[in-house]
């Protein structure tokens, strides 16, 4: 069976691969959106945190024998803690300044973190095996679905939807939205906004750390893995609308799929299709598909 | 008559916005259960006084005692948790929250907060609009929401900034009734008002603010005899 002249098997495999990439885009852009919405910081260090997540998982396994399942829990906590330290020691002084200062600081941090890992581990990728339980594939009849890819999609969707639910439907989320809109007044109501800001940044980068652990068995663990991805993720955030939670989730998943399908139909355009879409969206809706005009 | 208990005492308060020196040694006292109004021209420093009490200005020096506790060096959220409810001049309704989410946002800062049912009894319009986006409410409804929001928290000291501004006379009358009810319930109120006719019958005492400090203090019973002085200061 063929779809538009492409064998179904090949079509579905690329679709699945696109969906997996889309999941990484969604989780990473979600973290960026949460951080930008709340802190007004364009966090260029996000890719470095994603890379650090993958490296922490690799180091845990290599040096201390900490397996994949424990890494899924511990690495986001460790990366989140690094984020909290960065927020307390550096970022908190920049909130009142132009976005550019935060962008420059986090860009510098990204270069430093990436440089440090490159110095110690080299630029070539390090292997991280898929956990035994998630090895192999399931035969769906029309395609073989690798279990690990299905796992990545499932975890990413649960994390994205849970984050959306907490922010949009709970009291804690109402505090976050209020503090995003008017932090001074929210504090005047007795809400500890500085603590919320710190934890939000920690949570945002913990999401990047989680994406890093999920990515470690899927791709090679490399110091460059973050910087390769972050430019696309920023395009996703811009298309979805800066600070929009649902926007980043839907746009991340959709663009991953679009990118995957472009590989099937016109492979030469697959690495640029996201940026072409970004240009078109910016011309039609400068605030992004789900963003609010200011 | 029982001895007045100082609930809020501001002494020698200086406040700055960046390099700009706005309050120049403000002194005032609000006793428990009292309604005190700050009168003055635009830019005299009345709103800044409320903001400085909550730590919402830049640098502050002097002393601010709330219920016997010094708050000049305290973080804003901790000051609010001493039992202060703030109704800002611009109403501070969040567009990203519904009417009811706005209402439920501030945490409890006292033990005698009004329940949602009581709030909706006092402000029936809010019950009808509970699911509407906060900023879709009319100006009067937004003001009611801003008031209701602080009453739910159990705050005993209410800092109300220009609550009658830009509202229809019928809503202003309703607000005056609500302030009367709150006074009867024993709330302590510091009311910043441009609308002298609204504030005068409500306030037990008034401070006239000029150039960031108190220029005069007027008791309710002195209003008639100091009318000329007030006209000169406020142009009423």
List chain B domain ranges: 1-83+156-236, 91-154
* Min Cα–Cα distance to chain A from B220, Å: 30
| Segment A272-276 mean pLDDT | 93
Report the residue of A171, A188, A245 to disrupt the B interface, i.e. the one with the largest count of B CBs within 10 Å: A188
CA distance A102 to A116: 21
Query: Cβ(B236)–Cβ(B206) under 8 Å?
Result: no
In three-state secondary structure terms, B70 is strand
Query: Cβ(B70)–Cβ(B60) under 8 Å?
Result: no
What fold characterizes domain B1-83+156-236?
A: Rossmann fold (3.40.50)
Q: Is the pLDDT of residue B65 over 90?
A: yes
pLDDT reported for residue B56: 94
Least confident of A16-20, A159-163, B1-5: B1-5
pLDDT reported for residue A140: 81
Q: Is the pLDDT of residue A279 over 90?
A: yes
The pLDDT tens digits of the residues spanning A281-292 come to 999 999 889 887
pTM recorded for the entire structure: 0.83
pLDDT reported for residue B1: 53
Which residue in B56, B95, B109 is closest to A190 by CB distance? B109
Question: What's the DSSP call for residue B107?
Answer: P
Confidence band of B32 (pLDDT split at 50, 70, 90): very high
Which residue in A177, A182, A190 is closest to B80 by CB distance? A190
CA distance A136 to A155: 18
* Min Cα–Cα distance to chain B from A175, Å: 7
Query: Cβ(B162)–Cβ(B90) under 8 Å?
Result: no
CA distance A101 to B221: 57
Least confident of A32-41, A226-235, B157-166: A32-41
Average pLDDT of chain B is 89
Average pLDDT of chain A is 90
The pLDDT tens digits of the residues spanning B180-192 come to 888 888 899 999 9
CB hemisphere CA count around B99 (13 angstroms):
24
Confidence band of B236 (pLDDT split at 50, 70, 90): low
Percentage with pLDDT > 90 across chain A:
59
pLDDT reported for residue A209: 96
The pLDDT tens digits of the residues spanning A128-173 come to 999 999 988 888 877 788 899 999 999 999 999 999 999 989 999 9
Chain B contact for A116 (CB, 8 A cutoff): no
Q: Looking at chain A from residue 4 to 63, which residues have their Cβ under 8 Å from any Cβ of chain B? A: none
The more confident residue out of B195 and B11 is: B11
Confidence band of A267 (pLDDT split at 50, 70, 90): confident
Residues 6+ apart with CB under 8 A from A269: A262, A276
């Amino acid at each position: 069976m063929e779809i538009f002249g492409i064998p179904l098997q090949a079509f579905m495999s690329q679709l699945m691969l696109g969906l997996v990439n889309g999941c990484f885009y969604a989780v990473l852009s979600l973290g960026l959106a949460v951080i930008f919405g709340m802190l007004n910081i364009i966090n260029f260090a996000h890719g470095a945190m994603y890379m650090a997540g993958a490296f922490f998982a690799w180091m845990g396994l290599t040096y201390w024998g900490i397996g994949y399942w424990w890494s899924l829990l511990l690495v986001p906590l460790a990366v989140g803690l690094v984020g909290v330290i960065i927020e307390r020691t550096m970022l908190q002084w920049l909130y009142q300044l132009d976005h550019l200062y935060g962008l420059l600081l986090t860009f510098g941090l990204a270069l430093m973190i990436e440089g440090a890992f490159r110095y110690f581990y080299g630029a070539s990728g390090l292997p991280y095996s898929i956990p035994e339980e998630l090895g192999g594939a399931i035969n769906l009849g029309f395609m073989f679905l690798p279990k690990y890819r299905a796992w990545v999609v499932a975890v990413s969707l649960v994390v994205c939807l849970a984050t959306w639910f907490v922010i949009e439907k709970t009291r804690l989320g109402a505090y976050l939205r209020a503090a995003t809109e008017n932090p001074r007044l929210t504090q005047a109501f007795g809400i500890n906004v500085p603590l919320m800001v710190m934890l939000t940044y920690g949570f945002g980068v913990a999401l990047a750390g989680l994406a890093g652990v999920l990515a470690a068995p899927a791709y090679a663990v490399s110091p460059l893995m973050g910087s390769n991805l972050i430019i696309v993720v920023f395009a996703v955030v811009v298309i979805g609308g800066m600070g929009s939670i649902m926007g980043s989730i839907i746009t991340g998943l959709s663009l991953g799929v679009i990118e995957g399908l472009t590989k099937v139909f016109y492979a030469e355009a697959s690495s640029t299709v996201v940026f072409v879409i970004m240009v078109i969206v910016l011309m039609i809706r400068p605030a992004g598909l789900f963003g609010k005009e200011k | 008559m029982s001895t007045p208990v100082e609930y809020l005492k501001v002494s020698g308060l200086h406040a700055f916005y960046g390099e700009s020196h706005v309050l120049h040694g403000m002194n005032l006292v609000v006793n428990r259960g009292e309604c005190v109004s700050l009168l003055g021209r635009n830019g005299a420093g009345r709103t800044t006084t409320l903001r400085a009490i909550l730590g919402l200005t830049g640098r502050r020096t002097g002393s601010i005692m709330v219920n016997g506790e010094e708050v000049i060096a305290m973080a804003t959220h901790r000051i609010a948790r001493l039992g202060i409810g703030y109704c800002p001049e611009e109403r501070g309704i969040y567009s990203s929250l519904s009417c009811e989410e706005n209402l439920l946002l501030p945490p409890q800062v006292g033990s005698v907060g009004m329940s949602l049912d009581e709030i909706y009894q006092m402000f029936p319009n809010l019950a009808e609009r509970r699911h509407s986006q906060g900023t879709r409410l009319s100006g009067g409804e937004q003001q009611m929401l801003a008031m209701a929001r602080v009453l739910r928290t159990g705050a005993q000291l209410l800092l109300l900034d220009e609550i009658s501004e830009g509202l229809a006379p019928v809503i202003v009358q309703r607000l005056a009734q609500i302030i009367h009810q709150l006074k009867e319930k024993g709330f302590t109120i510091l009311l910043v008002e441009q609308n002298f006719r609204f504030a005068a019958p409500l306030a037990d005492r008034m401070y006239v603010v000029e150039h960031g400090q108190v220029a005069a203090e007027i008791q309710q019973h002195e209003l008639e005899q100091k009318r000329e002085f007030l006209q000169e200061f406020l142009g009423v």
